[in-house]
Amino acid sequence: MPSLTKSDESQTPRVRWLFLDLNSYFASVEQELRPELRNRPVAVVPVMADTTCCIAASYEAKAFGVKTGTQVGESKRMCPGIELVEARHELYVEYHNKIVKAVETCVPVASVMSIDEMACSLMGREQPLMAALDLARRIKETIRRDVGSTLRCSVGLAPNRYLAKIASDMEKPDGLVALTQDILEPALKQLVLRDLPGIGARMEKHLHARGIRTMEQLLALDHEQLSDVWGGVGGEKLYHWLRGEDFNDPKLEHQKSISQSHMLPPEFRTRDGAYAIAHKLLHKAAMRLRTAHLWTTNVALSVKFVVPKETAKKRHYSGIPQSGWSRGMTVVECQDNQTLVEALRKLWSEMPQGEMLQKPFFVGVWLGNLVPEHLHTLSLFSSLESESRRTRLSTTMDSLNHKYGLDTLFPASMLLAKAAAPTRIAFTSIPDLFE
């Protein structure tokens, strides 16, 4: 095959983002691990009860109309013989990490969007369409070879991440779709409004009330009209994204991580005291997360201990001879206190014991892989109603705490954290915690 000239390369369609969506992820992992479930209708459920809902369904089950959110009892009527499997969250996280590692042997992962979605920014020679298509096929082959032979994913290629996500949804399972600039408008006109990330039932109703019912009508709006119809900066971003622009206005860019740390006063240099402070730090980080309208998929904990000078490998900048420990974990995309505190408890339980690890003097928490609200993906472990309820509760608490003080309203689990710390030092007076 003859090589391309510079003139040819300038005419070649290019893409800048690759978006990967793992197909029926939880059900696919179960089928990978249990060959007897392959080619059979499978539904993953939170508990074995007819009154609960399916949180994932294999494509064989989807053929009968079973999908995420279908009540288990109804799924049995729709699909006689369906295999129900109780969810194993830690297993899905383990496979998620293996998949990220496999993808990164081909191209760096720029952002983990959720447990079954990730985005990769393409650079230089990766951007011409044929090269990007070859890269996508290589990623698919690598996942099958290194992680699981039956695991499938759909890949979208486009000029920006938003369009790449749309492309990944256009052909399932095992799809590969490219939305290049030359076919963008006619391709988008074939979609319905709900195909766009960020348009759910509520936004669709809002758009209908403004006279927008089709993609053709939406695309016909100019910059100011779409901003007005959408209501806010989201409309401005959508206008640019739907035209293939990689809109990176610094004012609209979100931060990539949130962290809180604290040097413990002598009275708090016990495991109970350190956990209490870590709990409060997480509470503050979660409030910052929600205020910025961000969601996290990664939680990390760091603890530093005072050790004898002769055993210390390094010193803290304060001069304290130290030994450090840190651990992180992936969580389902969240911003609520309940999920984050559960992660903190798990991380704390994994901290090693030992004579040299009994006097912590520093703790820090970190929330990473942050996702802006317009790209948030609903957790497959919870319904839209339950997630909305947790978020409303957290944001209501934030509003009251910002207005009346940060100890006005807090989760019941905070009582344990407050009790664990000496009453001689009030939490609200600890330096750096809530400034």
| Structure confidence at residue 318 (pLDDT) | 66
CA 355 to chain centre: 38
Q: Are 262 and 384 members of one domain?
A: yes
| CATH value at residue 243 | 1.10.150.20
Within a domain: 175: no
Residues 6+ apart with CB under 8 A from 12: 4, 128, 129, 130
Q: Are 264 and 285 members of one domain?
A: yes
Q: Are 212 and 276 members of one domain?
A: no
| Structure confidence at residue 160 (pLDDT) | 92
Q: Are 360 and 416 members of one domain?
A: yes
Number of domains in the chain: 3
Q: Are 239 and 268 members of one domain?
A: no
Within a domain: 204: yes
Q: Are 246 and 267 members of one domain?
A: no
Nearest to 157 by CA among 119, 185, 191, 125: 119
Nearest to 291 by CA among 191, 404, 187, 370: 370
| Structure confidence at residue 431 (pLDDT) | 35
Q: Are 276 and 217 members of one domain?
A: no
Beta-sheet pairing, 176-178 with 153-158: parallel
Q: Are 394 and 293 members of one domain?
A: yes
| Structure confidence at residue 369 (pLDDT) | 79
CA distance 284 to 433: 8
Q: Are 239 and 270 members of one domain?
A: no
**Phi, psi for residue 423 in degrees, rounded to 5:** -75, -10
| CATH value at residue 78 | 3.40.1170.60
Within a domain: 220: yes
| CATH value at residue 415 | 3.30.1490.100
Rg of the chain in Å (alpha carbons): 24
| DSSP-assigned beta bridge partners for residue 118 | 20, 112
CA 252 to chain centre: 19
Within a domain: 100: no
Nearest to 342 by CA among 353, 331, 326, 328: 331
Q: Are 270 and 410 members of one domain?
A: yes
CA distance 413 to 415: 5
Contacts of residues 264-270 at CB distance under 8 Å and 24 or more positions apart, as own/partner, are 264/360, 264/361, 264/362, 264/363, 265/425, 265/430, 267/421, 267/422, 267/424, 267/425, 268/421, 268/422, 268/425, 269/306, 269/359, 269/360, 269/361, 270/358, 270/359, 270/360
Within a domain: 61: yes
CA distance 296 to 315: 32
Which of residues 90, 111, 138 is at a domain's end?
90
- The three-point CA angle 114-119-120 to 5° equals 150
Q: Are 212 and 86 members of one domain?
A: no
CA distance 111 to 17: 11
Looking at residue 332, its amino acid is V
| Structure confidence at residue 231 (pLDDT) | 75
CA distance 19 to 164: 5
Upstream peptide bond of 431 is cis (omega within 30 degrees of 0): no
Joined tokens for residue 79: 């699909």
The DSSP result for 133-195, as a single string, is HHHHHHHHHHHHHHT-TT--EEEEEESSHHHHHHHHTSSTTT-EEE--GGGHHHHHHTS-GGG
CA distance 162 to 184: 13
Beta-sheet pairing, 360-368 with 258-263: antiparallel
Give the residue numbers spanning the domain of 44. Answer: 25-90
Q: Are 278 and 403 members of one domain?
A: yes
| DSSP-assigned beta bridge partners for residue 362 | 263, 304
Instruction: Kindly report the number of other CB atoms within 10 A of residue 432's CB atom.
Output: 11
Query: How far is CA 19 from each of CA 123, 369, 392, 421, rounded to the nearest angstrom?
Result: 14, 16, 30, 46
Host H or E run for residue 204: helix 201-209
pLDDT along the chain (435 residues), means of 10: 47 90 94 95 90 91 93 94 91 91 92 88 93 97 95 96 95 95 94 91 90 94 83 79 73 69 85 89 88 87 87 73 86 85 92 85 87 64 48 55 50 46 34 35
Which of residues 216, 251, 286 is at a domain's end?
251
CA distance 164 to 177: 9
| Structure confidence at residue 376 (pLDDT) | 67
